[in-house]
Amino acid sequence: MVGGGGLSSAADCLVYALNLGELVLIDCGSGASWPRIKQNMSAAGLDPDRLHTLVLTHGHVDHIGSAARIRRECGCRVVAHADDAAAITSGDPRFSVAHLYGVDLEPCELDLVVSGEQERLSFPEGELLLLHTPGHTPGSLSAVLDTDGSRVLLGQDIHGPFSHDFGSDLDAWRASMRKLLDLEADILCEGHFGVFQPASEVKSFIEGQLAAPKTIMPVPGSI
C-alpha cells in the first residue's frame, strides 16, 4: 500500500503497488498527492520512474486523478474497462465526481481497454487477472494475483457507494460480489477499508456488504 489515508491524502483511495518483475500500480489517487505516492514507492524499494502498468479500477477521481500525469511522466500503459473509458478519456466531472472533490480532472488516454469479462496481463514474475465486476460503476474492475500460495484480490470499492450519477446497478453489483466470493481469496485489498486476511475475513467482509442495506443515491456521499 503506497497511497491513501495517512500515506498520501484523505482524498485518495488506497493505492497498491505490485512488483511482478515489472512495476504495476492499482489506481493512483485524486491527483495532487502523486509526489507523496512516489516517495512512498521509493521508500518501499520501488522505482516509480520504472512504472510499467497503471490499472484504473473505475472512473472516480480518487482512483484516477493522477493518471494523465503519471502516463506522461512515467511512460506507462494505462488500463481500464470499456464501460468507464469515456469518463476517463474525457475527464467527465460528474461521472468521476471530480466536481464534488473540487478537482479539475485531466483527461487521460488509455493504452489498453478491457472490453470483455476478463483480461490477463502477463509480467516476468506473475500474471494479473482483471475481472469485470460492474455495479459500483458500469466498468468496475477487480484484479486477482496468485502468488506464494495465496490468492490476492484487489477489489476496490466493494462497499459502494451507489449513484445514478455514475451508472450504479445494485443487481449487477450483487452478481459481482458473488463472483468475488467464488474466488475464495486469501487476502483482500479494498479501496478504502484496508486489507483483510485470512480467507475467512475476506469472506466475512464481502458477505457483510451483501447483507447491508444498499441504496442508489441521486447524489453520492463519500466515494
**pLDDT at site 5:** 85
Distances (CA, A) of 4 to 25, 34, 151, 212: 13, 11, 23, 25
DSSP string, 152-194: EEEETTTT--EEGGGT--HHHHHHHHHHHHHT--SEEEESSS-
**pLDDT at site 221:** 47
Residue 150 pLDDT > 80: yes
**CATH class held by domain 5-212:** alpha beta
User: What band does 219 get if pLDDT is binned at 50, 70 and 90?
Assistant: low
pLDDT in tens, 36-61: 999 999 999 999 999 999 999 999 99
Residue 79 pLDDT > 60: yes
Residue 1 pLDDT > 90: yes
**pLDDT at site 48:** 97
Residue 222 pLDDT > 70: no
Percent of the chain past pLDDT 90, that is, above it, reads: 96
Tell me the average pLDDT across 105-117: 97
Percent of the chain past pLDDT 70, that is, above it, reads: 98
What cell numbers appear for 213 in the block?
Answer: 442495506
Tell me the average pLDDT across 102-127: 97
Domain ranges of the chain: 5-212
Tell me the average pLDDT across 128-144: 98
**pLDDT at site 95:** 96
Tell me the average pLDDT across 105-134: 98
Residue 220 pLDDT > 60: no
Residue 214 pLDDT > 80: yes
Distances (CA, A) of 23 to 26, 50, 112, 156, 188: 10, 7, 16, 19, 20
Tell me the average pLDDT across 210-222: 79
Tell me the average pLDDT across 97-124: 96
**pLDDT at site 223:** 43
Residue 14 pLDDT > 80: yes
User: What band does 218 get if pLDDT is binned at 50, 70 and 90?
Assistant: confident
Count the Cβ atoms, other than its own, within 10 Å of residue 151: 17
Average pLDDT, the chain: 96
